[in-house]
Amino acid sequence: MTIEVHLDKLLAERGMTLTELADRVGVTVVNLSVLKNGRAKAIRFSTLVRLCEVLQCQPGDLLSYRAG
């Protein structure tokens, strides 16, 4: 079971680059890359809030749970 991060899809839909998103969210590109590639162990609520604000989405659009 894993938590999948759909940052790639959301970025593509909004025509935004990872660097631009990192700037607007206020995190480093490295950290955002860690999140995008599913290597993050935890996400702060403050980061999630900023991501949802910038990408204009819900947490459920960004993250999903996959069993198995």
Partner 1 sequence: MKARSLTGVIPVLMVVVLLSTLSQLLHGPSRTETLLNLPELAAALVALFLANQLLNHVTRTGFHNEEAARRTRVLGLFLIFGWPLFTLMESLIRTARQVDAETFSWFGSWHIGGWPFIGGVVLLVFSTALRESAEMAAEIEGTV
Residues found near partner 1 in the complex (CB under 8 A): 27, 31-32, 34-35, 39-44, 47
| Residue 66 CB burial class (10 angstroms; 0-12, 13-18, ≥19) | exposed
Minimum distance from residue 6 beta carbon to partner 1 (Å): 15
Minimum distance from residue 67 beta carbon to partner 1 (Å): 22
H or E element that contains 52? helix 45-55
Minimum distance from residue 44 beta carbon to partner 1 (Å): 6
Query: Among residues 19, 6, 12, 9, which one has the least CA distance to residue 65?
Result: 6
Instruction: Between 1 and 42, name the residue whose CB sits nearer to partner 1.
Output: 42
